[in-house]
Chains A and B, each alone.
Chain A
Amino acid sequence: MNPALQALLVIVIGVGGCITYFYASNIFLDKVLFPAKGPNAGRNTNRANMVRPWLFLFPAMALLCLYLAYPVFATAWLSLFNKNHEFVGLGNYSRMFAEPKFIESLQNNIVWLIVVPAASTAFGLLAAQLTDRIKWGNFAKSLIFMPMAISFVGASVIFKLIYDSRDAALNQIGLINAVWLKFDGGVGSFLMLRLVPFVLIGCLLLAIAWAGWSVLRPLVQAQGSGGQGGGALVKLGRAAGALVAAFLVYQLGIWLYGIATNPLPFGTPQVWLQKPYWNNFFLMAVLVWIQTGFAMVILSAALRGVPEDTIEAATIDGANPFQIFFKIKVPQIMGTIVVVWTTITITVLKVFDIVLAMTNGQWQTQVLANYMYDKLFRALDWGMGSASAMIIMLLVTPILIWNVVNARKEMR
């Protein structure tokens, strides 16, 4: 049968089947099982109303359990078996952690997890604030939002053209290389490639160092004075946050040193996607480009929701626009920023298409999701593949728990 015809048939059967199911089951409940007449009318009505929600819920819950809940456990179970379906316990995990490609994807994923949500949220916040009060703001917003509609694969094609590299004798058709070749090592190059990045990265380093210190400070002071610094969990969180900040500061310090001292290969076109370490950032740029619109739309709505009188009060007290933004607006939308951040984090954990289409994990760009795909469908090692899928699940779990706790709070 022609697939298009089949699709039409499935729509008719699916929609018709749903309607028939809901209609018929309700009729059955009301007319046959617990009819609201006769001596037991009252009791029957109550019983029917107790059963009805489950009739409404049944198809959705059955699909959810089968397609999302059961696979979590099935995958966990599968990850304990090797290629020949023999039980190996945690053998797959230990084998995986011994594999350099897995360690590489884990490291890359950590960088992705830090850079993409941070950059997307920052750009989104910037775009939301900039477009907030200008006349063509909505137009600008819809253009920045547009990449949301483009598939990861489409975006990969778009950016592959940008990163394209050709022999030095030929005209460059990749935008980045065309710009790169304009630099010749003169004053302009010093300004744009050394000074500006140095200042920007330096500022970022200081900001992170400050943030890390303000996370750590209560802990240090509490120990000094012997007072209480909150629960053990909070203490742990603070320590972890400070540790991440310290790591970032260390990394950025290396960057600063590199920016200042590295000799730059002027005049030769670079194959950007094949430069280890940096190519990860070129791939991340694709996702940042896509996700910024999402962050912008949500943060923009949140900014609109900031009470006008708090801003007016600050203006009257003589706050400048930057103070208003950082001290009045941002603290009030912190909740939304966290939501945006976590949502993008989940997207990052699942990123697969971009890496597959642009480098397929070569030149040290592997990430977990693509590693998993490799194991499952190229190496056909379901045990290892399932084990790496479980690692992704493990990384998602804190967000899952946090979401569920929040939803429970809301329901009360």
Chain B
Amino acid sequence: MDGIAGKKSGLVWAVHLSTLALVILWVVPTLGLLVSSFRTGDQIVGSGWWKALGTQVQQLPAVRVSGEEVQKEGVFVIEGQLFATGTDISAWGTSSKEPEAFEAGTTTEIEGGATLTVAADGTFSLTSPSSMADLRMPRVFATASTPPEFTLNNYRNVISSPLAGQSIGQAFLNTLTVAIPATIIPILVAAFAAYALAWMDFPGRALLVAFVVGLLVVPLQLALIPLLQFHNWIGIGKGYLGIWMAHTGFGLPLAIYLLRNYMVGLPRDIIENARVDGATDFQIFTKIILPLSFPALASFAIFQFLWTWNDLLVALVFLGTGNDQQVLTGNIVNLMGSRGGDWEILSASAFVSIAVPLAVFFSMQRFLVRGLLAGSVK
């Protein structure tokens, strides 16, 4: 369609620009949180994250002038350091109503005939022709510009210290404990079933495929109470064993469906040749089908891993809400409730939980896309 060159260059530009706009719109939210997670708490609330690279302008807490009075050349002088060294004061004032009345370095007259100078580096000098022993010392309000500051402290903080029940580090381990068995176990169970549905001939096969397809869309919300009752009845209650079984059960329809669709597409010749050569179904499955189905197995494994890692509902219901068993998502929901305004904590916690799925996503995107296509286009 780009055949008629030149004529459509305007359209090509429009396409590039719209794509860029769309990409920016989709990336900016995540970027905002990522940037915030590296900023100090003061700077996060001081300015929007999009200003993180610029100089941070913020109001410092007011300080009352104090110091020893010295007599110099006929006048009384108090000198000293008002604000920590390293601050760069851009404006200051002596009343809370006008905190930015004067620029740094200017001199102003205050009550009692004294003059006050506050320099950019935070030093001040108060000068008066008479002794200032009885003078009420002025308070100084200052607006300081500080250089942008980035830190890893937020991550250090959330990973080790328990902020909402337990530390994010522990929750991370819990999530890993949930996700890995819940990813591996359904694969094998589903692979055998998928082989039977794809390559073995028996009455009722079509019906079973339809059954699996139907279960694909059953909302797992329906399963919560009956399964909780069942788990209590068989005595495993709430715990890791229960959540592994639940995730296995909920993941199976997709696993069987994906794997069966893939296996049906494998070349018939190979399987029939193997049969003629006397291979049993079990041998065909382990020696031929399983290695050939690796891409589909990988796709499903990625899906299941992302799903179990990101899940909140199943974990809340089957794992319990005790502190020692909380997963990342549950922990973050708690943090949002109790530390809703502490963005340095929230953003770092969220990024700890997002990091692993993102790494999996970017390293294995190929398999993920293939799985999506096999799972829904057919």
Write the residues of chain A forming the contact surface with B, with a CB cutoff of 8 angstroms: 3-4, 6-7, 10-11, 14-15, 18-19, 22-23, 26, 30, 50, 52-54, 56-57, 59-61, 63-64, 66-72, 74-75, 78, 123, 126-127, 130-131, 133-134, 136-137, 140, 142-162, 164, 166, 170-175, 178, 289, 292-294, 297-298, 301-302, 311, 315, 321, 324, 336, 339-340, 343, 346, 349-350, 352-353, 356-357, 369, 372-373, 376-377, 382, 385-386, 389-390, 392-393, 396, 399-400, 403-404, 407-408, 410-411
B329: Cβ under 8 A from any A Cβ: yes
A7 with B282, Cβ < 8 A, contacts A61-B208, A68-B250 known = no
Question: Once bound together, how far apart are the Cα atoms of A410 and B209, in whole Å?
Answer: 11
26 contacts between A and B (CB under 8 A): A3-B173, A22-B282, A60-B192, A68-B218, A68-B253, A70-B226, A123-B22, A133-B1, A134-B16, A134-B19, A144-B23, A146-B30, A149-B358, A151-B357, A154-B353, A158-B33, A173-B47, A178-B48, A298-B372, A298-B376, A346-B217, A377-B317, A386-B225, A389-B222, A392-B221, A404-B210
Residues of A within 8 A of B184 (CB): 11, 14-15
Q: Which of B60-68, B157-165, B193-201 contacts A (4 or more CB under 8 A)?
A: B193-201
Shortest CB-to-CB span from A11 to chain B, Å, is 5
Residues of A within 8 A of B244 (CB): 10, 14
Shortest CB-to-CB span from B227 to chain A, Å, is 6
Question: Once bound together, how far apart are the Cα atoms of A88 and B79, in whole Å?
Answer: 83
Number of chain B interface residues as a range: 35 or more
Partner of B329, one of A153, A166, A172, A289: A153
Interface of B is mostly: helix
Which chain B residues (338-361) contact chain A, with CB distance < 8 Å? 340, 343, 346-347, 349-350, 353-354, 357-358, 360-361
Question: Once bound together, how far apart are the Cα atoms of A352 and B219, in whole Å?
Answer: 12
Shortest CB-to-CB span from B155 to chain A, Å, is 15
Are the C-beta atoms of A146 and B358 separated by less than 8 Å? yes
Write the residues of chain B forming the contact surface with A, with a CB cutoff of 8 angstroms: 1-3, 8, 11-12, 15-16, 18-20, 22-23, 26-30, 32-33, 36, 44-50, 173-174, 176-177, 180-181, 184-185, 188-190, 192-193, 195-197, 200-202, 205-206, 208-227, 229-230, 240-241, 244-246, 248-250, 252-253, 256, 280-282, 285, 306, 309-313, 316-317, 325, 329, 332-333, 336, 340, 343, 346-347, 349-350, 353-354, 357-358, 360-362, 365, 368-369, 372-373, 376-378
Are the C-beta atoms of B2 and A133 separated by less than 8 Å? yes
Residues of A within 8 A of B253 (CB): 64, 68
Are the C-beta atoms of B181 and A7 separated by less than 8 Å? yes
Are the C-beta atoms of A3 and B376 separated by less than 8 Å? no
A57 with B197, Cβ < 8 A, contacts A3-B174, A134-B15, A353-B313 known = yes
Are the C-beta atoms of A149 and B360 separated by less than 8 Å? yes
A157 with B240, Cβ < 8 A, contacts A7-B177, A60-B252, A301-B373 known = no
Question: Once bound together, how far apart are the Cα atoms of A385 and B280, in whole Å?
Answer: 49
Residues of A within 8 A of B252 (CB): 60, 63-64, 67-68
Are the C-beta atoms of A353 and B329 separated by less than 8 Å? yes
Shortest CB-to-CB span from B349 to chain A, Å, is 8
Question: Once bound together, how far apart are the Cα atoms of A154 and B355, in whole Å?
Answer: 10
Question: Once bound together, how far apart are the Cα atoms of A126 and B196, in whole Å?
Answer: 40
Shortest Cβ distance from B369 into A: residue: A297
Residues of B within 8 A of A123 (CB): 22
Shortest CB-to-CB span from A135 to chain B, Å, is 9
Residues of A within 8 A of B282 (CB): 22-23, 26
Shortest CB-to-CB span from A66 to chain B, Å, is 7
Leading 6 A-B pairs by shortest Cβ distance: A67-B249, A151-B310, A60-B193, A74-B226, A149-B361, A56-B196
Question: Once bound together, how far apart are the Cα atoms of A66 and B189, in whole Å?
Answer: 15
Question: Once bound together, how far apart are the Cα atoms of A18 and B190, in whole Å?
Answer: 11
Shortest Cβ distance from B353 into A: residue: A154
Are the C-beta atoms of B30 and A350 separated by less than 8 Å? no
Are the C-beta atoms of B218 and A175 separated by less than 8 Å? no
Partner of B219, one of A56, A142, A350: A350
Shortest Cβ distance from A385 into B: residue: B225
Are the C-beta atoms of B1 and A315 separated by less than 8 Å? yes
Question: Once bound together, how far apart are the Cα atoms of A154 and B201, in whole Å?
Answer: 46
Partner of B29, one of A3, A133, A158, A173: A158
Are the C-beta atoms of B213 and A403 separated by less than 8 Å? yes
Shortest Cβ distance from A345 into B: residue: B217
Question: Once bound together, how far apart are the Cα atoms of A321 and B11, in whole Å?
Answer: 9
Shortest Cβ distance from A72 into B: residue: B222
Are the C-beta atoms of A130 and B19 separated by less than 8 Å? yes
Residues of B within 8 A of A324 (CB): 1
Question: Once bound together, how far apart are the Cα atoms of A126 and B21, in whole Å?
Answer: 12
Shortest CB-to-CB span from A346 to chain B, Å, is 5
Question: Once bound together, how far apart are the Cα atoms of A373 and B196, in whole Å?
Answer: 37
Shortest CB-to-CB span from A167 to chain B, Å, is 11
Question: Once bound together, how far apart are the Cα atoms of A188 and B200, in whole Å?
Answer: 68
Known: A15-B185, A66-B230, A137-B19. 9 other contacts (CB 8 A): A57-B208, A63-B252, A71-B224, A127-B22, A148-B368, A150-B354, A153-B312, A178-B50, A289-B29
Most buried by A among B195, B245, B282, B329: B282
Are the C-beta atoms of A142 and B362 separated by less than 8 Å? yes
Shortest CB-to-CB span from B90 to chain A, Å, is 15
Partner of B15, one of A14, A130, A154, A386: A130
Question: Once bound together, how far apart are the Cα atoms of A166 and B192, in whole Å?
Answer: 56
Partner of B336, one of A60, A157, A301, A349: A157
Are the C-beta atoms of A353 and B373 separated by less than 8 Å? no
Shortest CB-to-CB span from A35 to chain B, Å, is 13
Are the C-beta atoms of A154 and B354 separated by less than 8 Å? yes
Question: Once bound together, how far apart are the Cα atoms of A11 and B313, in whole Å?
Answer: 23
Shortest CB-to-CB span from B327 to chain A, Å, is 10
Residues of A within 8 A of B185 (CB): 10-11, 14-15, 18
Question: Once bound together, how far apart are the Cα atoms of A164 and B32, in whole Å?
Answer: 12
Partner of B353, one of A153, A293, A343: A153
Are the C-beta atoms of A57 and B329 separated by less than 8 Å? no
Are the C-beta atoms of B312 and A393 separated by less than 8 Å? no
Shortest CB-to-CB span from A326 to chain B, Å, is 14
Residues of A within 8 A of B343 (CB): 161, 164, 173
Question: Once bound together, how far apart are the Cα atoms of A385 and B312, in whole Å?
Answer: 18
Are the C-beta atoms of A72 and B218 separated by less than 8 Å? yes
Are the C-beta atoms of B332 and A68 separated by less than 8 Å? no
Residues of A within 8 A of B206 (CB): 408, 411
A52 with B48, Cβ < 8 A, contacts A7-B240, A150-B354, A376-B225 known = no
Are the C-beta atoms of B354 and A173 separated by less than 8 Å? no
Shortest CB-to-CB span from A158 to chain B, Å, is 5
Residues of B within 8 A of A140 (CB): 19-20, 22-23
Most buried by A among B11, B221, B280, B376: B221
